[in-house]
């Protein structure tokens, strides 16, 4: 893929990673990803905005083959998929200064062998003139690390947002083509790396309101030519109350927990509560993370193994605790053989979740009629709480 013009003297300089299927050795990328860098050629100065993941640095350097000078490398975010090739760019363009937030300077000095005098730090709201083009830097912590910022190019009304509003989709499209597909990918991305920082992200969205943003150019995925919908989606994810939805991850070994799960799903549906069910033995954890963005209640279906929770359920609890979804209730259902401390162990694994714990339903072996009746009571309780709190949709 060659460099591509976005606006007059503004170019996409990215790399498309069609094959990548995992990020941070954790996050599934079913559709690959892109690492977007951008070049702005002002009448007096030239700026490169971010770089690419180091394994794809040759793609970026090929884009830069006919570039004679770079005055500034704007580094919005210290994570290596955007900053990791700065060293190579600096070697080729030794005149370039690296423009960062003060926090990013210390982080980049820890991560990359870049000398201290190569950095210029910028304050929140500070502008940098490239001649006939002007970049304004807006500090936006926690999208996705504490040092992150975005840039606004006033003359072209473009927001360069780095991870903020990004989506992991490898594509030959420069611009968003299929909004529905990008919505899901962007929600997956938000869920996996930004959901824990909702309150800060809400403030960041507020900070963007004074700017007339007609295009958002993220560092993953495609460029938004109509950015209003993705900003509204973020507003929903961070600010709105949860939905009338139970996110229900489960694992079953011999079918007893599965019987309980199926009964509870049926009972909840009868009460008008939506359920998204995830069998942890086969599920894409990214899909589960997407569901957690909206969940009003989480129910974990878990059999007891060796006196504790099945390890897949423990992994799920650990992940949910890290992602800190806005769910307000949680319960546990499952079957055991002779005893154990499944509920106590799981309860100790979720200190970050601000949830009311609803009476768990555990049964010995195959669920009896009494156990199924207890599940019906749990469904009643969930439905009533969702109604009382007027969770939407
Ligand atoms: Fe795309 Fe947080 O890096």
Q: Taking the alpha carbons of 266, 267, 271, 276 in that order, is the dihedral positive or negative?
A: negative
Non-local CB neighbours of 181 within 8 Å, separated by 6+ positions: 169
Identify the pLDDT of residue 247: 98
Q: For residue 162, which atom of ligand 1 is closest to its CA?
A: 1
d(CA 96, CA 91): 9
| Centre of ligand 1 from the C-alpha of residue 275, in Å | 31
- 332-360 pLDDT, tens digit per residue, is 999 999 989 999 999 999 999 999 999 99
Regarding the beta carbon of 77 and ligand 1, being less than 6 Å apart is answered yes
With b for 16 or more beta-carbon neighbours within 10 A and e for fewer, the 68-87 pattern comes to eebbbbbbbbbbebbbbbbb
Token reading at 99: 């423009």
First to last CA, the chain: 42
**Class of domain 4-239 as given by CATH:** alpha beta
Provide the whole-model pTM.
0.95
Regarding the beta carbon of 294 and ligand 1, being less than 6 Å apart is answered no
Q: Whose CA is nearest to atom 1 of ligand 1?
A: 163
Q: For residue 166, which atom of ligand 1 is closest to its CA?
A: 1
Q: Taking the alpha carbons of 190, 166, 78, 28 in that order, is the dihedral positive or negative?
A: positive
Regarding the beta carbon of 386 and ligand 1, being less than 6 Å apart is answered no
| Centre of ligand 1 from the C-alpha of residue 49, in Å | 14
Non-local CB neighbours of 209 within 8 Å, separated by 6+ positions: none
| Centre of ligand 1 from the C-alpha of residue 142, in Å | 11
**Nearest 10 degrees: Cα torsion 171, 173, 177, 183:** 40
pLDDT in tens, the chain (393 residues): 688 999 999 999 999 999 999 888 888 899 999 999 999 999 999 999 999 999 999 999 999 999 999 999 999 999 999 999 999 999 999 999 999 999 999 999 998 888 899 999 999 999 999 999 999 999 999 999 999 999 999 999 999 999 999 999 999 999 999 999 999 999 999 999 999 999 999 999 999 999 999 999 999 999 999 999 999 999 999 998 999 999 999 999 999 999 999 999 999 999 999 999 999 999 999 999 999 999 999 999 999 999 999 999 999 999 999 999 999 999 999 999 998 999 999 999 999 999 999 999 999 999 999 999 999 999 999 999 999 988 876
DSSP structure class, residue 103: H
Q: For residue 35, which atom of ligand 1 is closest to its CA?
A: 1
What are the extents of the domains in the chain? 4-239, 245-388
Query: Per DSSP, which regions of 124-240 are E strands?
Result: 127-129, 134-139, 149-153, 158-162, 215-218
Identify the pLDDT of residue 285: 93
Identify the pLDDT of residue 391: 86
Q: For residue 145, which atom of ligand 1 is closest to its CA?
A: 2
Regarding the beta carbon of 139 and ligand 1, being less than 6 Å apart is answered no
Regarding the beta carbon of 17 and ligand 1, being less than 6 Å apart is answered no
Query: Do the beta carbons of residue 122 and residue 147 sit within 8 Å?
Result: no
**So what's the architecture of 245-388 in CATH?**
3-Layer(aba) Sandwich (3.40)
Regarding the beta carbon of 243 and ligand 1, being less than 6 Å apart is answered no
Regarding the beta carbon of 50 and ligand 1, being less than 6 Å apart is answered no
Identify the pLDDT of residue 1: 67
Regarding the beta carbon of 144 and ligand 1, being less than 6 Å apart is answered yes
| Centre of ligand 1 from the C-alpha of residue 197, in Å | 15
- Do the strands 308-309 and 304-305 form a parallel or antiparallel pair, or are they unpaired? antiparallel
In Å, what is the CA distance from 147 to each residue of 108, 140, 210, 226?
10, 8, 22, 27
Stated as kind and residue range, the H or E segment containing 289 is: helix 285-294
């Amino acid at each position: 893929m060659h460099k591509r013009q976005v606006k007059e003297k503004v170019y996409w300089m990215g790399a498309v990673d069609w094959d990548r299927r995992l990020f941070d050795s954790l996050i599934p990328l079913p559709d690959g990803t892109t690492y977007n860098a951008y070049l702005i050629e002002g009448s007096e100065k030239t700026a490169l905005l971010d770089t690419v993941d180091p394994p794809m640095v040759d793609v970026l350097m090929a884009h830069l083959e006919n570039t004679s000078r770079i005055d500034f490398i704007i580094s919005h975010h210290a994570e290596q998929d955007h900053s990791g090739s700065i060293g190579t760019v600096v070697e080729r363009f030794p005149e370039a200064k690296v423009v960062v937030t003060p926090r990013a300077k210390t982080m980049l000095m820890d991560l990359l062998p870049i000398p201290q005098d190569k950095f210029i730090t910028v304050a929140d709201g500070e502008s940098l003139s490239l001649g006939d083009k002007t970049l304004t830097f807006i500090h936006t912590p926690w999208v996705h690390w504490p040092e992150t910022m975005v840039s606004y190019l006033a003359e072209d009304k473009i927001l360069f947002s780095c991870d903020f509003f990004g989506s992991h989709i490898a594509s030959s499209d420069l611009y968003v083509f299929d909004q529905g597909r990008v919505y899901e990918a962007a929600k997956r991305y938000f869920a996996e790396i930004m959901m824990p920082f909702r309150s800060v992200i809400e403030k960041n969205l507020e900070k963007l309101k004074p700017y007339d943003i007609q295009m958002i150019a993220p560092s993953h995925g495609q460029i938004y030519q109509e950015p209003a919908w993705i900003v509204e989606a973020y507003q929903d994810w961070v600010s709105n109350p949860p939905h009338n939805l139970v996110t229900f991850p489960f694992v079953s070994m011999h079918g007893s927990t599965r019987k309980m799960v199926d009964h509870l799903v049926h009972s909840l549906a009868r009460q008008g509560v939506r359920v998204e069910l995830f069998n942890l033995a086969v599920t894409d954890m990214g899909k589960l993370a997407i569901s957690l963005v909206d969940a009003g209640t989480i129910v974990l279906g878990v059999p007891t193994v060796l006196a504790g929770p099945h390890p897949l359920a423990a992994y799920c609890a650990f992940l949910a605790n890290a992602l800190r979804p806005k769910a307000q209730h949680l319960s546990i259902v499952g079957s055991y053989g002779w005893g154990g401390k499944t509920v106590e162990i799981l309860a100790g694994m979720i200190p970050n979740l601000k949830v009311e714990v609803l009476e768990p339903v555990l049964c010995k072996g195959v669920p009896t009629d009494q156990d199924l009746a207890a599940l019906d009571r749990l469904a009643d309780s969930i439905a009533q709480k969702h109604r009382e709190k007027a969770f939407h949709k």
